[in-house]
């Protein structure tokens, strides 16, 4: 990947698009273009390093008997299986966090040096700690459920876990905007009431049951721009980062919000839930087959005597991580299609090409994004169309 990113790939735009709205020379300085290339390469390299690091952590705790030790220790501390699984997951999460921390810190340092991140180390550590505990709680509950069913039915456990995951997925989408998101940032009603009225008019035209537009103080953490519509039912929220409000004109902000509204109108939120449920079904099915195959072949060598003991968890996590990575080109392609649909909806709703183009150009320059990333990076990382694709579409839209 290092060779591919720095030598074997080309991120310049095709000569046929020079002088068009997608040409970074028209909306980025020479320095910004250089910084964009360097920053993107570094962030992509860190991404492709972080994935095998996770795999190596799982292999490390398996090969050196750490997983077996954690399992034995949890049984010695308590006889209640729920507490055993919680203690095991805590210890495994702690080891994983300690090993992966340097890479996370380097990623933050890179973003800080390139002017993308503005968050203090104290604030970053606070978010890092919150993420650890949120992840621990959700993982501990998930592991407990998986191994409860695994103990009851060693062959069909995956199907029962999948059934339980359906209401949990929906519930998570329902509570995220009002329970999880506020743990990281402060949300408040949009201060610019005139702009809020315009956004709510767009929402009303789209039959979105929204009474408020929320502003979030992301300028304490980043200089990048963003906006989104999240949640379902009564917990649906329209959210704008304050950085977006500070750097975009009202017409440009309205296009961005029309894009987010497009996700709601096109039912992308619900399609994502359905897609997640379907992927979970196949992931659990194939994961269970690989899980039993690997333990039948290597279990004795790893001192894992039974499939349904907690010591086997790193094997399961390794398999799910591998399957998730293998499926990422497909899930990213679906996401890019949804994002393009939202772009189409937004330009049809606003009918303001100039504002739309300027919005994406500012998003690119502010975030030091690549206009035309390498193909492998697009397949494995991009859930949005490239800026080249988006800007060319908008410029040629009639």
Q: Are strands 227-230 and 237-241 parallel, antiparallel or unpaired?
A: antiparallel
For the record, the structure tokens of 150 come out as 């695994």
Residue pair 278/366 in contact by the 8 Å Cβ criterion: no
The number of beta carbons lying within 10 Å of the beta carbon of residue 209 is 10
| Residue reference for tokens 């940032």 | 185
DSSP assignment of 192-228 equals -HHHHHHHHHHHHHTT---S-EEEE-GGGTBS---EE
pTM for the complete prediction? 0.90
Residue 203 lies in a domain: no
What digits encode the pLDDT tens for the residues 369-395?
Answer: 999 999 999 999 999 999 999 999 999
Residue 210 lies in a domain: no
Q: Which residues are annotated as a binding site for Zn(2+)?
A: 259, 263, 339
Catalytic residue among 54, 252, 343, 389: 343
Identify whether 207 is a catalytic site residue.
Answer: no
Q: Coil, strand, or helix at residue 248?
A: coil
- Specify the pLDDT at position 154: 84
Give CA–CA dist 227/245, Å, rounded. 10
Phi-psi region of 185 (alpha: psi -120 to 50; beta: other; left: phi over 0): beta
Q: Is the pLDDT of residue 234 over 70?
A: no
Residues 6+ apart with CB under 8 A from 6: 41
Residue 369 lies in a domain: yes
Residue 14 lies in a domain: no
For the record, the structure tokens of 90 come out as 């805590």
Q: How far is CA 219 from the centre of its chain?
A: 20
Residue 41 lies in a domain: yes
Give CA–CA dist 186/225, Å, rounded. 16
Quickly state the pLDDT bin for 155 (edges 50, 70, 90): confident
What digits encode the pLDDT tens for the residues 57-102?
Answer: 999 999 999 999 999 999 999 999 999 999 999 999 999 999 999 9
Q: Which residues are annotated as a binding site?
A: 259, 263, 339
Q: Is the pLDDT of residue 183 over 90?
A: no
Average pLDDT over every residue of 209-230: 85
What digits encode the pLDDT tens for the residues 311-354?
Answer: 999 999 999 999 999 999 999 999 999 999 999 999 999 999 99
Identify whether 260 is a catalytic site residue.
Answer: yes
Catalytic residue among 54, 252, 260, 309: 260
Q: How far is CA 50 from the centre of its chain?
A: 14
Residue 248 lies in a domain: no
DSSP assignment of 314-382 equals HHHHHHHHHHHHHHHHHHHHHHHHHHHHHHHHHHHHH--HHHHHHHHHHHHHHHT--SS--HHHHHHH-
Residue 241 lies in a domain: no
Q: Tell me how many domains the chain contains.
A: 1
- The whole domain housing 343 covers 28-185+266-396
DSSP assignment of 108-149 equals HHHHHHTTSB---HHHHHHHHHHHHHHHHHHHHHHHHHHHHH
- Specify the pLDDT at position 227: 86
Give CA–CA dist 357/392, Å, rounded. 9
Query: How big is the chain by its Cα radius of gyration, in Å?
Result: 23
H helices, E strands: number in the chain: 14, 4
| Residue reference for tokens 């702009």 | 195
Give CA–CA dist 398/393, Å, rounded. 10
Residue 256 lies in a domain: no
């Amino acid at each position: 990947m290092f060779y591919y990113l720095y030598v074997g790939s080309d991120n310049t735009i095709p000569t046929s698009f020079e002088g068009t709205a997608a040409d970074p020379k028209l909306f980025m300085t020479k320095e910004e273009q250089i910084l964009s290339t360097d920053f993107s390469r570094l962030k992509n390299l860190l991404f492709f390093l972080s994935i095998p690091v996770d795999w190596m952590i799982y292999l490390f705790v398996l090969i050196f008997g750490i997983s077996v030790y954690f399992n034995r220790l949890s049984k010695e501390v308590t006889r209640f299986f729920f507490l055993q699984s919680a203690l095991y997951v805590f210890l495994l999460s702690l080891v994983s966090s300690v090993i992966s921390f340097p890479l996370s810190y380097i990623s933050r340092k890179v973003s800080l040096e390139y002017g993308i991140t503005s968050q203090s180390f104290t604030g970053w550590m606070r978010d890092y700690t919150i993420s650890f505990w949120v992840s621990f709680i959700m993982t501990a509950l998930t592991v407990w459920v998986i191994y409860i069913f695994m103990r009851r039915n060693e062959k069909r456990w995956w199907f029962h876990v999948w059934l339980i995951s359906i209401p949990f997925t929906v519930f998570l989408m329902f509570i995220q905007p009002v329970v999880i998101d506020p743990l990281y940032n402060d949300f408040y009603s949009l201060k610019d009431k005139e702009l809020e009225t315009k956004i709510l008019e767009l929402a009303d035209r789209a039959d979105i049951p929204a009474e408020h537009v929320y502003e979030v103080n992301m300028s304490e953490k980043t200089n990048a721009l963003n906006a989104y519509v999240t949640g379902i039912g009564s917990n649906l929220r329209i959210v704008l980062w304050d950085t977006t409000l500070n750097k975009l004109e009202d017409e440009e902000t309205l296009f961005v919000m029309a894009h987010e509204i497009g996700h709601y109108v096109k039912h992308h939120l619900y399609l994502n839930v359905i897609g997640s449920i379907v992927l979970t079904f196949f992931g659990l099915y194939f994961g269970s087959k690989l899980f039993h195959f690997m333990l039948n072949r290597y279990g004795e060598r790893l001192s894992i005597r039974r499939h349904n003991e907690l010591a086997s968890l790193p094997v399961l996590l390794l398999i799910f991580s591998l399957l998730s990575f293998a499926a990422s080109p497909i899930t990213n392609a679906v996401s890019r299609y949804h994002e393009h649909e939202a772009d189409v909806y937004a330009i049809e709703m606003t009918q303001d090409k100039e504002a739309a183009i300027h919005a994406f150009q500012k998003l690119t320059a502010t975030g030091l994004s690549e206009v035309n990333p390498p193909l492998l990076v697009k397949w494995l990382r991009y859930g949005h169309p490239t800026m080249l694709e988006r800007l060319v579409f908008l410029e040629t839209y009639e």
